Structure 1
């Protein structure tokens, strides 16, 4: 099946779109956006009118607020209307243009009466799978933790509207990382694309013989770090990082940050409480790492199955 993804070039939105679309097409065509499409760019004035390219998509998977008008324009320009899926609540009046809209549990709670085309999703879909990570685990551990022993992956994001990294937070984070090393664990620390220079420089300064921080030179070892880990410490500012870590089925501990009261803070706090208390996927970090069991989610595959079922019900599922 021919799939297109439509989103801005941010890693977070792109990986969600690709994670779902690749269950339909191993190499989806990517439409990367640099802004919203003006309302007046419809019909023959649309940049996609009669220029969608061949072959046309059978399914469009989009993410991000920029994407909705672009998807509507692409679908209108196609000779055969593609099945349209958006991975985020639609708040610009175009929600009825999509066959399915997937809203994260922490977003859906704020929608009293979700439209009929809305479906629930857990956290953020992504491109990682347990099978993929297990296949590279042995080589990843041999490369990044050759001394053997337990491995902790520390995944660090950056300041947001909900959280900040103040001095007290950095002191606690440093103590946690150094504590893992003192316990004989190998620490593989990975900054994200959102990690600002000052926080990145601070993280580099925490290195020791048992602490390895990716210095952003060479190929990003993030997949290897996740594959090699026996447990995770993930900063609280991310939805994607704990979603990806939980794919492994290994313990995921969420590191608390200094909160900034407001709507975003409440949203993130609800998300993490849901992951921990309701779903049992993560645990708040309280100074120690320990084992616990849970059923690892495979959200991109589950979402793809929901889409296939809906397409089959409508008669839109083609070989």
Structure 2
């Protein structure tokens, strides 16, 4: 099946779109958009009018608020309308342009009557699968932890509208990583583009045989770090990172951050309570790592199955 993804260039939206589209097409065509399409850009005024190459897409998967008008314009430019899927609530009046809309449980909590085409999803879909992690695990451990032993992978985000990385937070994170190393664990630390420079500098300065840090140059070893882990420490500012690592079935602990009151904080706090208290998937980090069991979610594949069933029903 020919699938296209339509989203902005942000890594979070791109990995969601690709994760779903690759359930149908191993190499989906990517349309990256940097702004909304003007309302008047329709019909012959559309940048896609008579510019859709052959073969035309059969499935459009989009994510992010910039994408919705582009999807409507692309679908209108096709001779046969493709099946359209959006991976966030649609808030610009274009909900009817989509056959299916998938919204996170944390988003739907505040929507009293979701539209009929809306389906629930857990967090955010992505491109990591249990099979992929299993295939990479041996080589990843041989490369990053040749001496063996327990590995804790620490995934660090950065400040958002919901959370701050104050001095106390930075100190706690640094002390935790040092403690893990002193206990004989290997720490694989992956900072993101949003990670505060002071914390990145500390991580780079703390590198040793027990503390391995990606310096944000060269290829990102994120997949290796996730595959090699026996447990995870994930900062609270991300939806995607916990969803990705939970695919492994390994213990996942969420690091508390300094809160910034507001709607965004309420959304994230609900999301993490849902993961931990309702679904039993994660645990709040309270100073120690321990084993616990849960059924690893496979949300990307589940969403793909829902799309496939809906497409078959409409044929």
TM-score range normalised by the length of the shorter chain: over 0.9
User: How far, CA to CA, are the matches of 2:160 and 2:207 in structure 1?
Assistant: 25
Report the counterpart of residue 222 of structure 1 in structure 2: 222
List gaps (5 residues or longer) in structure 2: none
User: How far, CA to CA, are the matches of 1:288 and 1:205 in structure 2?
Assistant: 24
User: How far, CA to CA, are the matches of 1:204 and 1:42 in structure 2?
Assistant: 51
Once the two structures are superposed, residues 260-295 of structure 1 have per-residue CA deviations (whole angstroms, 9 ceiling, x without a partner) of: 011111110000000000111100000000000001
Quote the RMSD (CA, aligned, Å). 0.9
> 1:179 Cα deviation (Å)?
1.1
The alignment status of 1:36 with 2:36, answered yes or no, reads yes
Report the counterpart of residue 170 of structure 2 in structure 1: 170
The alignment status of 1:243 with 2:243, answered yes or no, reads yes
Matches within 5 A, 1:21-100: 21-100=21-100
> 1:196 Cα deviation (Å)?
4.1
SS at structure 2 position matched to 1:309: helix
SS at structure 1 position matched to 2:304: helix
User: How far, CA to CA, are the matches of 1:18 and 1:196 in structure 2?
Assistant: 28
SS at structure 1 position matched to 2:237: coil
Q: Number of aligned pairs?
A: 315
Report the counterpart of residue 114 of structure 2 in structure 1: 114
User: How far, CA to CA, are the matches of 2:255 and 2:83 in structure 1?
Assistant: 39
Once the two structures are superposed, residues 130-188 of structure 1 have per-residue CA deviations (whole angstroms, 9 ceiling, x without a partner) of: 00111110010000001110000000000000000001111111111111111110000
Change (3 A) 1:196 1:42: farther
Report the counterpart of residue 281 of structure 1 in structure 2: 281
**TM-score normalised to the size of structure 1?**
0.97
SS at structure 1 position matched to 2:60: strand
User: How far, CA to CA, are the matches of 1:206 and 1:69 in structure 2?
Assistant: 47
Do the aligned residues in 2 keep the contact of 1:18 with 1:126 (CA within 8 Å)? yes
Matches within 5 A, 1:140-289: 140-289=140-289
> 1:199 Cα deviation (Å)?
3.4
Question: Runs of 4+ in structure 1 displaced over 3 angstroms?
Answer: 196-199
> 1:201 Cα deviation (Å)?
2.0
Report the counterpart of residue 103 of structure 2 in structure 1: 103
User: How far, CA to CA, are the matches of 1:204 and 1:70 in structure 2?
Assistant: 42
SS at structure 1 position matched to 2:74: helix
SS at structure 2 position matched to 1:199: helix
User: How far, CA to CA, are the matches of 1:165 and 1:280 in structure 2?
Assistant: 26
Once the two structures are superposed, residues 187-241 of structure 1 have per-residue CA deviations (whole angstroms, 9 ceiling, x without a partner) of: 0000113224343223323333311110112211100000000000000000000
SS at structure 2 position matched to 1:237: coil
User: How far, CA to CA, are the matches of 1:103 and 1:246 in structure 2?
Assistant: 19
Once the two structures are superposed, residues 96-152 of structure 1 have per-residue CA deviations (whole angstroms, 9 ceiling, x without a partner) of: 110000000000111100000000000110000000111110010000001110000
Once the two structures are superposed, residues 57-113 of structure 1 have per-residue CA deviations (whole angstroms, 9 ceiling, x without a partner) of: 000000000000000000000000000000000000000110000000000111100
User: How far, CA to CA, are the matches of 1:171 and 1:195 in structure 2?
Assistant: 14
Do the aligned residues in 2 keep the contact of 1:158 with 1:199 (CA within 8 Å)? no
User: How far, CA to CA, are the matches of 2:19 and 2:120 in structure 1?
Assistant: 16
The alignment status of 1:292 with 2:292, answered yes or no, reads yes
Do the aligned residues in 2 keep the contact of 1:103 with 1:120 (CA within 8 Å)? yes
